[in-house]
Amino acid sequence: MTGAPADVSVIIPTRNRAGRVAEAVDSILGQSPASREVIVVDDGSTDETASVIRAFGAPVRYLCQRHAGPAAARNRGIREARAEILAFLDDDDLWSPDKLARQLPELLGHADTEIVLGYTQRMVLREVSRGSEQFVAYKEPVRLFSLGCGLFRRAVFDRVGLLDQRMQHAEDDDWFMRARSLRVRMRFIPEVTLYYRFHGSNMSTDREGKLPDLLRLIKNRLDRTRNGQEGV
């Protein structure tokens, strides 16, 4: 990596994924340009997460909190971030190698753009060989409103607000619904920027746990409609 780091803070919420979170961090540190900082918010892990993350040293920052859920962890990272551009990654996913190189010019080159999003490539676990997981692409890349595939001007969180900490699932869907209701200016680029990895223990596979939050998402949307917000 050459040149000065970009003014980007990357936020990773994590809990008990010491075996995967290091790969997520590596996919960020391998970017050119580099990020100003990587903030890993440990949401009450009981495994070796702390030692794994602290071993990276600067620019990786390790923050720890009592278990409060991924939305609370992301919000902690947003509040602690030092940069004017924010990015996110889940602890079991990866960025594409050229994510920042592709998205930063789109954000910095268009003053009216508040969020730049990319495509998501879904990956499935094929096998585990000698302790190493092998993932393969699942179908074609898709266009999703996802925190992990985007770059965000920090100011957009002042306008839209933070993530709903009452939700353990779908809090990013709820946030993007709020952003779209406020007509936040977003731009998609046609390149993959996120590898979303299915491995059997993703939070998204917890169907029973997701139901209350999906109902809350619907209620939040109905409340905005009753309040007369447009574009919901």
Q: Which residue has the tokens 């050459």?
A: 2
Give the model confidence (pLDDT) of 147-194 as tens digits: 999 999 999 999 999 999 999 888 999 999 999 999 999 999 999 999
Q: How far apart, in whole angstroms, are the C-alpha atoms of residue 35 and residue 22?
A: 16
Q: How far apart, in whole angstroms, are the C-alpha atoms of residue 200 and residue 48?
A: 21
Query: Percent of the chain scored above 70 by pLDDT?
Result: 84
Give the model confidence (pLDDT) of 97-133 as tens digits: 999 999 999 999 999 999 999 999 999 998 776 667 8
What's the distance, Cα to Cα, between the start and end of the chain in Å? 42
> What pLDDT is recorded for position 231?
44
Do the beta carbons of residue 123 and residue 195 sit within 8 Å?
A: yes
- Closest by CA to 27, choosing from 110, 167, 135, is 135
Do the beta carbons of residue 68 and residue 43 sit within 8 Å?
A: yes
What average pLDDT score do residues 40-69 get? 97
> What pLDDT is recorded for position 1?
45
Please provide the DSSP assignment of 132-157 as one string: EEEEEE-SS-EE---GGGEEEETHHH
> What pLDDT is recorded for position 104?
98
List the domains of the chain with CATH numbers: 6-226 (3.90.550.10)
Residue 202 in this model has a pLDDT that exceeds 70: no
> What pLDDT is recorded for position 13?
98
Sequence-distant contacts of 78-82: CB under 8 A, at least 24 apart: 78/11, 78/154, 78/157, 78/162, 80/39, 81/9, 81/11, 81/37, 81/39, 81/154, 82/9, 82/36, 82/37
Distance of CA 95 to the CA centre of its chain: 10
